[in-house]
Structure 1
Amino acid sequence: MPLHICFIHGKESGPWGNKGRLLSGIAHQLGYEYSALNYLTADNPDDPESRLQMLRTYLSETRIPEKELILTGSSMGGYIAARATQYHPAAGLFLMAPALGMENYPSQWPEMNARERFIIHGLFDGVIPWSHSNEAAQKTDTPIHLLADDHRLSDSLDIIEEDFRSFLNRVSQ
């Protein structure tokens, strides 16, 4: 089954940072479609609702079938990916240090409407407490991988690759 992986970058990164390049390479190697919107061009790039609207518009216009859609996001992008599944259910939701449980976000604990879900979070994250991801994982029966890394997860790209490949294998079955 052809999958379409849509990466949502974090607040202080861009679509072609380390994680974006990693996921893009995996997608292309496996013959999957890949997209990454540049949220730095959003009307208000610091506003999660502005980013969510941009993603919702993209998903509505492209009409990627639910059974093919993989949403993956990092930090604020993870939060946006989770929120997007409330409007566009997905086959998969792969979150890296997602900004869940943040008091200043409109919906702190969004539903995760995806058949397969996975969360990765660094134990030394000084931006978003790993306990937020752990709580979300418990509430939604989502597998979680806690790593000895910080918010950027830059020391764990090999582990992210392994987890993402395994995740895609489960989604494609």
Structure 2
Amino acid sequence: MKGHVILSHGSDSGPDATKVSALAQVAESCGWRASRPDYRDLDARGMVACVAPRIARLRHKVRPGERTVFAGSSMGSFVSGLASLETTIDALFLLALPLEIPGYGAFDASRVPTWIVHGWSDELCPASEVVTFARQRRANLLMLADTHRLADHLELIGDHFRAFLRAVEAEPDLASLPDIEQT
């Protein structure tokens, strides 16, 4: 296995949701192990109350020493970014990214390679804010003529995810390199 892709679904969704299922298939076809935590029991607590437990569940899936990528859609993107601040990962792939959960706070993420896919007509997460965030972080950004669900572009998103995984594979796994003695 090349590494582990952990895919987080959005609110009012589940681990068998269309986007995370499609991305899991792409990951597995590229030689990555894919897992999709089920957050539905946590989502029943409400938008704000589910964030911290989602982050904890996501972090629990990480295996130390294994190349790891977090990917998510909507709330799954939000918690993937926040979880990346608390554990070591190699990259982020974020769909329909909310930059704030009202009552919880603002989005943040570790400074790892980040690719974002967002719809120009996203009715929940303003596209202009995501463009600004991507520019500030120098993240790769694919903007699509689509809504929050990104349902009209699943094949294109899958192709983009495949290219993302190839880019991650091309980067050296710094954690696996031996330490160099200082002279």
Give TM-score scaled by structure 2 length. Answer: 0.84
1:12 aligns with 2:2: no
Q: CA RMSD in A?
A: 2.0
CA contact (8 A) 1:10 1:76 kept: yes
Question: For 2:140, which of 143, 152, 168 is the aligned residue?
Answer: 143
Paired residue for 1:47? Answer: 47
Larger Rg, first or second structure (1 or 2): 2
Paired residue for 1:86? Answer: 85
Give secondary structure in 1 for the equivalent of 2:53. helix
Give secondary structure in 2 for the equivalent of 1:90. coil
> What is the aligned-residue identity percentage?
28
1:31 aligns with 2:18: no
Paired residue for 1:107? Answer: 105
1:66 and 1:90, CA in 2 relative to 1: closer, same or farther beyond 3 A?
A: farther
For 1:118 and 1:43, locate their aligned partners in 2 and report how far apart those are by CA, in whole Å: 25
Equivalent residues, number: 170
User: 1:42 deviation in Å?
Assistant: 1.6
CA contact (8 A) 1:39 1:45 kept: no
Paired residue for 1:95? Answer: 94
**Letter of the 1:153 counterpart:** L
Paired residue for 2:175? Answer: none
For 2:158 and 2:70, locate their aligned partners in 1 and report how far apart those are by CA, in whole Å: 15
Deviations 1:107-150 (A, max 9, x none): 3131x215311001001111111112112102211111100011
Task: Could you tell me which runs of 5 or more consecutive residues in structure 1 were left unpaired when the two chains were aligned.
Answer: none
For 2:32 and 2:56, locate their aligned partners in 1 and report how far apart those are by CA, in whole Å: 21
User: 1:89 deviation in Å?
Assistant: 2.8
Task: Could you tell me which runs of 5 or more consecutive residues in structure 2 were left unpaired when the two chains were aligned.
Answer: 171-183
Paired residue for 2:56? Answer: 56
Question: For 2:114, which of 108, 113, 117 is the aligned residue?
Answer: 117
Give TM-score scaled by structure 1 length. Answer: 0.88
